[in-house]
Amino acid sequence: MPRIGVRELKTRASEVTHDVHENHVRYTITNRGEPLAIIIPYTPAEEVVTSADPHEEFRSLRALIAKSQKEPFSAVELMREHRR
């Protein structure tokens, strides 16, 4: 994997992005010789999808689980029955 400094990347950005896209070359971006990041070709399968509101995702999963619950009684009702 070729290494390229940040300053060189600034001047050759178009060339580097073309190389990444067309030739599927990965570049390690460095700053004073220390690796900072990696530029890789884009593939839709690798795209990370994040929820805008993780709490909303949690609530929807909780509702889905509640719908699939096959017990005729809630946990509270079962505890009351057990204590009798």
Spell out the domain ranges in the chain: 3-42, 50-83
Q: What is the mean predicted confidence (pLDDT) over 11-17?
A: 96
Please classify residue 71 by burial: count the beta carbons closer than 10 Å to its beta carbon, then call 0-12 exposed, 13-18 middle and 19+ buried: exposed
**pLDDT given for residue 19 in this prediction:** 96
Contacts of 25 (CB under 8 A, 6+ apart): 1, 2, 19, 41
Mean pLDDT of the chain, nearest integer: 86
| CATH, domain 3-42, list 1.10.3470, 3.40.50, 1.10.357, 3.40.1620 | 3.40.1620
pLDDT over 90 at 34, yes or no: yes
CB 39 within 8 A of CB 27: yes
Q: Rounded to two decimals, what is the model's pTM?
A: 0.53
So what's the pLDDT on residue 24? 94
